[in-house]
């Protein structure tokens, strides 16, 4: 049985972020697990792939490439796009790029990731059900932690749900979307009639509508997947770590703990391509989004309509929350895994069955502490450790301050 924060958050996601298409990764309420649906005999999943390929991968990405080309061609004296609009488009552009990456991730690695995630839920239920949290203090801390996680995940889901209805009209009426500028250039070249422009703008609105709804849904799903996976592993490792605190731990329990640790690593091996690719781009994209959102929040408070402006402080809060829900847990898993191995090794002493102790020591020697990596294509780029969160916020603060100091009022006007 899945923990409450998993069932409640994924049920909320299904209810709040539903659409006429279906992502291949779906939550099964009855079985309390994730399902991966193929395109075979499933029109809604085919529609999801079609929506992302047409509106996000092709039209939106192509429009951003066109805008970037025109920005590079323009001169500082005669900019193609004003700087505030350029920064907002940069934020939306990197989010679009990340969703293109997510589309590839879900298509190529989604099925294995779902199988690994479901196996993690199964292991967590077995370990916590068999061992428990060891006493009232551990149980109360666990309930408090689960309540905090549940509230944080519900907040993220509702934020993404609200963003859909803020971003679509804001982009369309304030002309911050990437489609407006190619359409403007076409109108200047071909001098369309009013009726033609009306039809093209309605088409633009429809593409923006599908684009934003699909982007919010995919981003939320991937973030939920990663955060719930980390918390499932935290629950498993904290339970095993609590059990290893006992003065006398039998070889049977030590062998059971080593077996569970190996099972977790095998489950993560299935998730690894999905997790590593999602993590590295989430960190890079989150860095750009965080810096731009902070800049707009501080510098453009009197230049934007209130509904548009409020979007950016909320994005800063959401990104900070995601960072605090992921990076500390990622390095915490390595610490817990290393400490478990040390304690189990210290427990293998005394007058016991020498053959059993010898076999146990060899099994423990072959057990590698778990660490989380970020990378792509099977290449591990860097490991998430204690310094990652500090370095991340240092880069965010440095980038924000640099952008604020290097931007004059003339460029903003």
Express each pLDDT in 35-74 by its tens digit: 999 998 899 999 999 999 999 999 999 999 999 999 999 8
Q: Does the pLDDT of residue 250 top 50, yes or no?
A: yes
What's the pLDDT at 316? Answer: 93
| 160 within a domain of the structure (yes/no) | yes
Higher-scoring residue by pLDDT: 137, 327: 327
Task: Provide the domain count of the chain.
Answer: 1
Residue 369 is given by DSSP the state P
Task: For residue 98, give its domain range.
Answer: 4-406
Q: How far apart are CA 94 and CA 97, in angstroms?
A: 5
- Range with the largest mean pLDDT of 76-90, 185-199, 238-252, 377-391: 185-199
* Chain mean pLDDT for the chain: 89
Q: Indicate the SS3 state at residue 207.
A: helix
Q: Is 411 inside a domain boundary?
A: no
Q: How far apart are CA 162 and CA 315, in angstroms?
A: 12
125 neighbors 1 (Cβ within 8 angstroms): yes
- Establish if 412 belongs to a structural domain: no
pTM of the full structure: 0.91
386 in a domain, yes or no?
Answer: yes
Quote the pLDDT of residue 350: 64
Task: For residue 18, tell me if it sits in a domain.
Answer: yes
pLDDT of residue 352: 65
Instruction: Give the confidence band of 93 by pLDDT, cuts at 50, 70, 90.
Output: very high
130 occurs within a structural domain? yes
Residue 379: strand pairing partners: 376
Long-range contacts of 390-394 (CB under 8 A, 24+ apart): 392/283, 392/287, 392/323, 392/327, 393/323
Confidence at 134, pLDDT banded by 50, 70, 90: very low
In this prediction, residue 248 carries a pLDDT of 60
């Amino acid at each position: 049985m899945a923990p409450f924060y998993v069932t409640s958050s994924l049920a909320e996601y299904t209810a709040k972020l539903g659409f006429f298409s279906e992502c291949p990764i779906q939550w099964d309420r009855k079985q309390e697990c994730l399902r991966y649906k193929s395109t075979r005999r499933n029109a809604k999943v085919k529609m999801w792939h079609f929506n992302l390929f047409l509106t996000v991968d092709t039209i939106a990405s192509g429009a951003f490439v066109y805008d970037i080309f025109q920005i590079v061609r323009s001169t500082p004296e005669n900019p193609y796009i004003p700087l505030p609009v350029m920064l907002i488009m940069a934020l939306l552009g990197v989010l679009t790029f990340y969703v293109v990456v997510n589309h590839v991730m879900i298509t190529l690695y989604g099925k294995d990731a779902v199988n690994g995630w479901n196996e993690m839920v199964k292991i967590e239920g077995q370990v916590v059900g068999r061992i428990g949290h060891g006493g009232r203090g551990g149980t109360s801390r666990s309930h408090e932690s689960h309540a905090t996680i549940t509230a944080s995940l519900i907040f993220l889901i509702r934020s993404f749900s609200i963003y859909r209805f803020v971003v679509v009209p804001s982009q369309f009426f304030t002309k911050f979307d990437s489609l407006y500028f190619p359409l403007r250039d076409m109108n200047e070249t071909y001098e369309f009639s009013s009726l033609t422009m009306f039809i093209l703008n309605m088409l633009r609105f429809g593409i923006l509508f599908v684009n934003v709804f699909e982007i919010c849904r995919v981003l939320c799903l991937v973030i939920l997947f990663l955060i719930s996976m980390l918390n499932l592993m935290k629950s498993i490792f904290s339970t095993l770590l609590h059990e290893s605190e006992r003065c006398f731990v039998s070889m049977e329990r030590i062998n059971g703990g080593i077996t569970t640790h190996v099972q977790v690593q095998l489950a993560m091996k299935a998730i690894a391509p999905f997790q590593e690719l999602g993590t590295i781009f989430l960190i890079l994209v989150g860095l750009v989004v965080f810096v731009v959102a902070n800049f707009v929040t501080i510098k453009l408070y009197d230049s934007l309509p209130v509904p548009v402006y409020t979007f950016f402080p909320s994005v800063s809060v959401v990104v900070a929350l995601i960072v605090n829900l992921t990076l500390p847990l990622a390095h915490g898993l390595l610490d817990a895994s290393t400490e478990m191995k040390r304690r189990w090794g210290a427990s293998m002493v005394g007058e016991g069955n020498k053959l059993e102790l010898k076999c146990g020591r060899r099994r423990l020697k072959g057990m590698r502490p778990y660490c989380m990596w970020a990378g792509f294509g099977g290449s591990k780029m860097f490991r998430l450790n204690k310094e990652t969160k500090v370095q991340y916020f240092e880069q965010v603060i440095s980038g924000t301050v640099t952008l604020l100091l290097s931007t004059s009022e003339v460029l903003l006007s």
